[in-house]
Structure 1
Amino acid sequence: MASSGERIGEEGAYFLERATITEDSDDEFQYEEIPIDDDLVSEIDEDLNNAVRTIQEAQEDQEAAKRKEGLIPPPVTQRPEVVDDFVRNFLVKMGMSRTLDCFQTEWYELQQRGLMNEEDVGTVPDIYCRNQQLDNQVKFLRTDVDRFRDAAMKAKETYVKLRKERDFHRMHHKRVVQEKNKLIDDIKRLKRHYGSYEPTLQQLKQKYEAVMKERMLAKLERDRAVNQVSALQATLRSLESGLREGATQEMTKEERRLMFASGVGPTQQNVHRAREMTTEPFQPDPSSMDVTQQTIPRHPKDSEFPVDNGVNPQLASVKGPSAHLTRTGGFRLTHTFQAHSLAVSGIALHPRKQILATVSDDQNWKMWSIPSGDIIMTGEGHTDWIADCDFHPSGSQLVTAGGDGTVKIWDFSKAECVHTFSEHQHAVWGCSWHASGDFVASASMDNTSKIWDLNSLRCRFTLRGHADSVNSVMFLPFSNNILTASADKTVSLWDARTGLCGQTFYGHVHSVNHATFSLRGDSIASCDSYGVVRVWDTRTCASMATYDVGPHPVNRAAFDSSGTVLAVGSNDGTVKMMDLTSGQVSSLAGHEDAVHAVMFDRAGDFLVSGGADNTVRIWS
């Protein structure tokens, strides 16, 4: 709606006339709907808000910096400007110097004469001041507009860049998802392929066990035949000597026993039969020979395993629980020394002297005098970390096992490595010396354990049976039994003379890091990667106790001499002490990182621990 005026006559009279302006309607216009990406709108709004916020923060920072440096003067109160000053400033601003001189001359002259009215010499009207302020404000606003325009352009460039990066990462994510799906399909196919071999592996395992049983039976049959021939030869010699002398006296009771045991009677016919049997040397049936002897020829320098009579002379000195159980307060930290430049992975105590051997990830082993911590000897030779060590029963040698897949024998008298066994295919986790000093057992990541002969310098047996890495190995003191712990969640007992597995303990649900015998040999302790410790009875092959000290992994376990206290090293930096009679668990805190090794001395007076904080600590 609008109005127009028209002049009528000369009196200047006007009148109003109503007029209607037709407005165009947008309802009939066909718009094309454009889909709006909600993510794009939100991203634009967020980018714009961030840009404005960034500019405001930058302005505040600049103003604060200027105030701090004194560049911004303190605020000045503006007073209204008088007329003459306003005109004078305007002429100066325009560069009209002559007009300025004329103005000042006439102004002062009229002022002296008193011809100026009071309202003429007052302040400048507000409209002029307001116009000047608006002019200045327009200039500042134009400056802000230019600055905001630059910020908007930068924000736009940033948005475009981020959008390109988003598209790139989205594409990369899709490619990774496709590769993952492909790998999942490959894994499923491999599982099906492996499942097809499982029955065959079971059959081979059963055949292997049957062959090993037949081998043992054949060995027993051979030994019985050899004993029978020896008895016949002794009887024959006795009968021949009696016939030569023409003696007709009665045979002794021992001769009769030997004859009847061998199936030979006191007749001349049996004597001739025995003589015929001994005319040629005894030739055993090849089918009854030991399978190992058929495949591996016996070395002339091979050591003989000692008779396993089940007697441990060290038990004579054990007189009840460890000394710390009878004292109040238990073990306390008494000595600490920096042993290596990297984590201490294994320790061993000398069988006769107060000497400690340590091995580390720094590829070195060292010997220390304890508890003073004075270094005695250092050995270098491994090309990778060293995992474990053990003293010879006489204390004259040391065996070490490392990540380079080798087992090294060190002789202290020669101060050098005297031999290196390198038949393992992967890293060697543990090693243990037989009580006779003629054999060393090792455990490796290649799923096997090996028994090495120190006289013939060769591998006598390879213990195969674990389905994953063998993490520890230990000889039962003064016995031919071997204990192994594996990442396949089992603990196994082996006969070192035959290389056969006698018993497997099941119960762990995670990888078993270590297993150890008690001194009496009637108990086994094992610990796994989730902090579960189990104590087994070797006579009943059953679990006697279970302790959950997780969730941190437990790396090593050790019995005291009485077998009533168990110490374990945990990844939480503590040594857990377990009283097996009462079931109580206590902690020894002192290490700053994971505890990798623990060991009691033979008398139970002190405990030694080594950890990832590169230190060895003695508790007594």
Structure 2
Amino acid sequence: MAEAAGSEAAFCLQNVTITDDSKDDYQCEEVSADDEFSLQEEDEDLSTALQAIQEQAEDAEILTSQSVLTSEKSVCEVPEAMDDFFCNFLVRLGMSRTLDCFQTEWYELIERGVLTVKDAGLVPTVYTHNQHLQAENMSLKKDLENYKLAANKTKEALLKMQKERDFHRMHHRRVVQEKNRLICDMKRLKAHYASYEPVLKQLSEKYETMLKQKMLTSLERDKAVGQVTGLQAVLENLDSGGVKQISEAKVHDCTRKKDFEGPTQKALREARQQKIIIAASSSSDPVKDAEKKMGKRHLKDSEFPVDTEVNTYLECAKEHTQPLKSGEYQLSNILKVHDLAVSCLALHPRKDIVVTGSDDHLWKMWALPDGNLLMTGEGHTDWLSGCCFRPSGTQLVTSSGDTTVRIWDLSRRGCILTLKGHARAVHGCSWHSRGDFVASASMDSTSKIWDVNSERCRYTLRGHKDSVNSIEFLPFSSTVLTSSADKTLSLWDSRTGLRVYTFHGHLHPCNHATFNTKGDAVASCDSSGVLKLWDMRKLVPILSIDAGPHPANQVAFDQSGGVVALGSSDGSVRVLRRDAGQLSALRGPGGAVRCLRFHGPRLLLSAGADGRLCLWT
């Protein structure tokens, strides 16, 4: 009841008399037709009409302002009843109990007749005016506080902007100083280069003179060869003996005294010696000549095999001439082999054993198909990128991101040799079928041929313009295949360290390339998921399949060469049957497939980013 009374006390009642409109003294005047016609004539003048509209707008503004003023004035001049004033005052202060008591006593007095409304009177307008001023003062204080807060925020923003301005000024000064210093260095380098120009001119002149001398020497050599040829003809006319007789005559001449040697015999002896030298030079091996040109040979260096060796893998390939259909591969087992991603696989040449290398710096040896752990190798300080068994199966080579290549003896269960020479991470390694040489590919755009016996680098293969991502020996051959991020594949002769041929065709960086068992085809894949097959005899592409858009990480042939498997970053293994041209997908448990291998005619192994090894049969 008190709250209701308080809410009612907030309002005041006023007596207002409404007069009848009919009693107004204002009378309307009629407008004649002539006046309307005159108005229409005036409207025809555009300037007069615009002026009239402007005047009407001004009059309307004046009337509205006057009405606002009169209304405010009327509100202020109307006095407030005394009881309403007291009620409003108590409500504003929150004195509800006092308000209840006041209302009770006030209305009791009025009912008794002790107090009348006339006696109470009205509140003077000055109190109402004070209330309005107080309310206005409160609103002005609130506005002042808001303005102070805004001013403080503006001040903070100004200080922040000043600090940033000072920082940028200081940075600009540093840049200007650095620019001036670089300009001075450039000037000094230009002056230094200008001081070297005379020396370069002298060297170029010396180089030209040396070329001329070389040409003269070659002419003299040709002349001497002509003379030797003439002496050979004379020798053939005088003596028709073979090389064996010449060698005997040489021994006999060496033991003979010079006093008993006449001019004719001396000429014959020199001619025989020249003939033996020419025969020896004509029968020399170009590979050995290349080795002599490359540098002195080490005593423990191994001999590079000839390319006429028989590929023993061809017998296995003939046994499996009928490849399995791609749809027959099914996931038979999953082994958790590493905590981190598996980056490489290697199969033992004689036993059911697989080696896995991982980003956890370890390689592990597992028995197939049960997955029993046989051995663990520790020693690399970074992720493993490749692994390969020696053809005898007694040793293992691994490559790593720590720029080294390590050779492990499985019988000793430890590393026996560390090969250092690459400037950046090593991406792959391969062991020659003879077992004396190891090849490695690196991110420094080079590949190296290592001699295991002499424990040194025999050749550095230079030619790629970007990272070399894979390397592999052609079985029972000295040919090396590399794939690079410069979108090319290259064939190299490991006996000379020279590039033989370059395959062009990929539009994206090549991630991996491999030979088939017969050695007559090459499969490669790139970072856009494109798989290409190349003919080694014609050196042309045979087939190109887009398995993208995810990158293809590794490719592998089966023993027959009729099935190609591709590991993709989308977690699937793509299987291509060459005779049918069909490409199917094998979906694993998940994670990018980074490496895969065929083991025998009926087993496919794949591993990837989830650290698991999948067996497909």
TM range (shorter): 0.5 to 0.7
- Contact 2:6–2:91 (Cα < 8 Å) also in 1: no
- Contact 1:591–1:611 (Cα < 8 Å) also in 2: no
Matches within 5 A, 1:123-522: 134=132, 137-138=135-136, 141-142=139-140, 144-157=142-155, 159-160=157-158, 272-273=245-246, 275-277=248-250, 290-293=289-292, 295-309=294-308, 311-318=310-317, 319-325=320-326, 329-522=327-520
Matched with 2:30 is none
Amino acid at match of 1:304: E
Q: Based on CA coordinates, which of the two structures has the bigger radius of gyration?
A: 2
Matched with 1:249 is none
Matched with 2:7 is 78
Give, in whole Å, the separation in 2 of the partners of 1:77 and 1:300. 117
342 and 127 in structure 1: CA distance in 2 versus 1, 3 angstrom threshold: farther
1:606 partnered with 2:603: yes
Deviates more, 1:553-562 or 1:368-377: 368-377
Give, in whole Å, the separation in 2 of the partners of 1:129 and 1:321. 113
The offset of 1:418, in angstroms, is 0.7
269 and 136 in structure 1: CA distance in 2 versus 1, 3 angstrom threshold: closer
Amino acid at match of 2:316: S
- Contact 2:316–2:559 (Cα < 8 Å) also in 1: no
More helix by share: 2
Report how many residues are paired: 460
Pairing partner for 1:527 from 498, 522, 525? 525
The offset of 1:431, in angstroms, is 0.6
Give, in whole Å, the separation in 2 of the partners of 1:266 and 1:464. 51
The offset of 1:272, in angstroms, is 5.0
The offset of 1:425, in angstroms, is 2.8
Amino acid at match of 1:322: P
Amino acid at match of 2:249: E
Give, in whole Å, the separation in 2 of the partners of 1:91 and 1:428. 91
Identity, % of aligned pairs?
A: 45
Give, in whole Å, the separation in 2 of the partners of 1:75 and 1:349. 95
The offset of 1:526, in angstroms, is 1.5
Deviates more, 1:534-543 or 1:566-575: 566-575
Per-residue Cα deviation, 1:248-285 (whole angstroms, up to 9, x for no partner): xxxxxxxxxxxxxxx99998899854521465797677
469 and 87 in structure 1: CA distance in 2 versus 1, 3 angstrom threshold: closer
> Residue 275 of structure 1: SS of its match in structure 2?
helix
Give, in whole Å, the separation in 1 of the partners of 2:406 and 2:129. 98
- Contact 2:291–2:297 (Cα < 8 Å) also in 1: no
- Contact 1:533–1:548 (Cα < 8 Å) also in 2: yes
Per-residue Cα deviation, 1:368-389 (whole angstroms, up to 9, x for no partner): 2334333221111112222111
Give, in whole Å, the separation in 2 of the partners of 1:304 and 1:320. 35
Deviates more, 1:160-169 or 1:549-558: 160-169
Give, in whole Å, the separation in 2 of the partners of 1:561 and 1:377. 27
The offset of 1:536, in angstroms, is 0.6
Give, in whole Å, the separation in 1 of the partners of 2:423 and 2:163. 46
Q: TM-score, normalised by structure 2?
A: 0.63
> Residue 7 of structure 2: SS of its match in structure 1?
coil
> Residue 605 of structure 2: SS of its match in structure 1?
strand
> Residue 143 of structure 2: SS of its match in structure 1?
helix
Give, in whole Å, the separation in 2 of the partners of 1:576 and 1:91. 88
The offset of 1:432, in angstroms, is 0.5
- Contact 2:404–2:426 (Cα < 8 Å) also in 1: yes
The offset of 1:407, in angstroms, is 1.0
> Residue 78 of structure 1: SS of its match in structure 2?
helix
Matched with 1:114 is 113
The offset of 1:134, in angstroms, is 5.0
The offset of 1:349, in angstroms, is 1.6
RMSD: 4.7
Amino acid at match of 2:150: A
119 and 76 in structure 1: CA distance in 2 versus 1, 3 angstrom threshold: closer
Deviates more, 1:434-443 or 1:168-177: 168-177
- Contact 1:264–1:270 (Cα < 8 Å) also in 2: no
> Residue 386 of structure 2: SS of its match in structure 1?
strand
> Residue 148 of structure 1: SS of its match in structure 2?
helix
359 and 92 in structure 1: CA distance in 2 versus 1, 3 angstrom threshold: closer
Matched with 2:16 is none
The offset of 1:170, in angstroms, is 8.4
The offset of 1:453, in angstroms, is 2.1
Q: TM-score, normalised by structure 1?
A: 0.62
Deviates more, 1:498-507 or 1:165-174: 165-174
Amino acid at match of 1:290: D
> Residue 594 of structure 2: SS of its match in structure 1?
strand
The offset of 1:392, in angstroms, is 1.4
The offset of 1:611, in angstroms, is 2.0
Unaligned runs of 5+ in 2: 11-80, 94-101, 194-203, 205-210, 212-235, 255-272
Give, in whole Å, the separation in 2 of the partners of 1:269 and 1:434. 41
Amino acid at match of 1:435: S
